[in-house]
Amino acid sequence: MPSRERSAKAGAKAPAASATSKKSSGAKRPKAKSKEKGSRPGQRNRPAATSGVVPSPPTPDGAVKVTFLGGLNEIGRNCACVEVDGKILLIDCGLMFPDMDMLGIDLVLPDFEYLRQNADNIVGCICTHGHEDHTGALSFLLRELSFPIFGSALTLGLARNRIEEAGLSSRTEFNVVKDGERRQIGPFDCEFIPVTHSVPHGFATAIRTPQGVIMHSGDWKLDLTPVDGRLTDLTRMGSIADQEGVRLLLADSTNACEKGHSRSESTVGKVLYDLFHEFEGQRIITTCFASHVHRVQQIADAAIAFDRTIATMGLSMKKNVKLARELGLLDIPESRLRDIAEVKDVDPAKLLVISTGSQGEPMSALSLMAANENKFLTLTEGDVVIMSSHPIPGNEANVTKVIDGLTRIGVEVIHSGIEDVHATGHAKKEECKTLLSITEPEWFVPVHGEYHHMAAHARLGRQMGVPEDQVLVCEDGDQLIIDDDGITRYPKAVPAGYLYVDGIVGDVSDGVLRDRRVLAEEGVVVVIVGVDVTSGAIITGPEIITRGWVYAPEAEDLLDQCAEEVRGSIKEAFQNDATDIETLQRHVRRAAGRFVAANTKRRPMIVPVIMEA
Ligand SMILES: [Zn+2]
Ligand SMILES: [Zn+2]
């Protein structure tokens, strides 16, 4: 096997492989769906729901399938399956935070249909690291299915919080794996390789299959001076590439459009130290992601250097600090910590608060502080807030609102636009190229990114010598079949639509969201009319009720005219011998819609209610 892989890499491809690869790269991707009515520019193309799915053909013995259920064409809900002999190994099971246009939606999950269909064949889930876009959907999937999970102690500790909250701990088994450990999970021989990222103890994974090694980068960057000294183990990746060959590389594309090299996390510590020096004598509040243990460490180090007492604010910060200290990943002496409820007697000049809310989440501790509604802390002029983070796309407006609120109080706000108080956790171009050069993959599929991130990453792959037709840009729902001849891509082979969480999961469809958008943007017009279909007469109404179209008390004339228009159309329908409710509804909807559009240039939702006498 290795010899064939290496020869293919060297460009001396077997004819069969090139035929297959042609088929795969030449396979026409179904066109992006036409814009839904009510959709807006900039809205993502929704991945395939159950309709439009074309399953891949049965696979020959010894073939390996890779299926993408989420994370390709979006940042979030990362979830992939590797399949051998019908046994499935999951790589991550994450959630996504909703776009602004997903009104009322709390979370978005991967489509679990394919996993449901193969419920008895899931041998486990590898959690590459502890971020919610990689582990957050487990607490939903485990309601229906049961399988063991594998990851570092911190990763599983972070995942456990959510799974326990959902009361599902008994549905899984938490298997802690160590750096460099090799584990047999079902038919898969998996090796866990350390990588640096914005949460400690993340892994890349080498999965040995009958079709060679599948290498998954996890979320990673090449931090040569990480806070904990735990380096991305490029040496091990190189040695696997050298000895066994990497048949397929799946790698993080988040920053593949960004030139250069990411900054080391440890450079942030120096900036924080300087700021703590500058603001000596003032109360300091910092925010960062609650799982960013190394950032918390560097904030705490700066605080301790300037003799401050440390308090955490926000439940997830409190929980994660506790977990990381228990695991020995966070070094803050007990004597330095104080509960936020007991900081009133601490001299503000000697206090540091580490808070949640770095993304401007409306109900977070920081947002409440900005609105002066935080029960533990009232900010005043002279306080300093350091936002040690960068807004995730989509959160900019909320973050700006929080910065404004704080500024209005007289607080000095330091954010990543002012000082280098943040470093990304994802590999930029030069690091992506380093990984490609070290792993020398035979085939390359960019993962974890919006479409343009993956396309940029694909270009880097080709630039680094992966043959043009062996770089595949895939999307959610796509399935790869790896056999002796190469890799064939089957677009939209499994359902991969969005599963929306709004209260109870599963009852919000795209149709519901479309309605919500129309209601939010244009309002609703309800036309109520009572008719006698046998005599063809209007008994009551039409009565027009509206919310969000015009303000009814000030628009009586308009409503009367609309009612008149509808009355005319019903009469016309009766003259044309309409006797069924559907026809009358159609007439009413059309007449009211036309009137509304002509007189106000708006398109509210029209709801005809026809009552039969
Ligand atoms: Zn991550
Ligand atoms: Zn991620």
Please say if 448 is a catalytic residue: no
Please say if 383 is a catalytic residue: no
What does the alpha-carbon distance between residue 216 and residue 221 come to, in Å, rounded to a whole number? 13
| 243-300 per-position pLDDT tens digit | 999 999 999 999 999 999 999 999 999 999 999 999 999 999 999 999 999 999 999 9
Given the residues 292, 426, 448, 453, the one annotated as active site: 426
What pLDDT does residue 284 have? 97
pTM of the predicted model as reported, rounded to 2 decimal places: 0.82
Q: How many residues does the chain have?
A: 613
What does the alpha-carbon distance between residue 595 and residue 567 come to, in Å, rounded to a whole number? 12
CA angle, residues 392, 142, 171, in degrees to nearest 5: 135
What pLDDT does residue 48 have? 57
Positions of the chain with pLDDT under 70: 1-51, 504-507
- Please give the mean pLDDT across all residues of the chain: 88
Which residue in 332, 389, 400, 305 sits closest to 355, CA to CA? 389
What token pair was written down for 150?
A: 């594998």
- The three-class DSSP label of residue 556 is helix
| 445-471 per-position pLDDT tens digit | 999 999 999 999 999 999 999 999 999
Given the residues 111, 252, 469, 476, the one annotated as active site: 252
Which residue in 352, 220, 357, 365 sits closest to 282, CA to CA? 352
What does the alpha-carbon distance between residue 68 and residue 58 come to, in Å, rounded to a whole number? 18
Q: Which ligand is nearest to the CA of 221?
A: 1
What token pair was written down for 516?
A: 């919500």
In 263-376, DSSP assigns E strands to 284-287, 309-313, 351-355
250 CA to middle of ligand 1, Å?
15
75 CA to middle of ligand 2, Å?
7
129 CA to middle of ligand 1, Å?
7
Exposed (0-12), middle (13-18) or buried (19+): which is 362, by Cβ within 10 Å?
A: exposed
Which domains, ranges and CATH numbers included, belong to the chain?
2-25+64-261+424-500 (3.60.15.10), 266-414 (3.40.50.10710), 512-612 (3.10.20.580)
296 CA to middle of ligand 2, Å?
19
423 CA to middle of ligand 1, Å?
13
76 CA to middle of ligand 2, Å?
6
Q: How many CB atoms lie within 10 A of CB 121?
A: 16
- The three-class DSSP label of residue 393 is coil
Which residue in 261, 206, 563 sits closest to 424, CA to CA? 261
What pLDDT does residue 40 have? 41
What token pair was written down for 448?
A: 């974890």
Q: At what angle do helices 266-278 and 293-305 cross, to 10 degrees?
A: 30
130 CA to middle of ligand 1, Å?
7
Q: Which is it for strands 524-532 and 537-547: parallel, antiparallel or unpaired? A: antiparallel
Looking at the chain, the whole-number percentage of residues with pLDDT higher than 90 is 65
69 CA to middle of ligand 1, Å?
17
Neighbours of ion ligand 1 (CB under 5 A): 131, 219
What pLDDT does residue 610 have? 87
Q: Which ligand is nearest to the CA of 289?
A: 1
Q: Which ligand is nearest to the CA of 77?
A: 2
What token pair was written down for 425?
A: 């956790």
What pLDDT does residue 45 have? 56
| 411-431 per-position pLDDT tens digit | 999 999 999 999 999 999 999
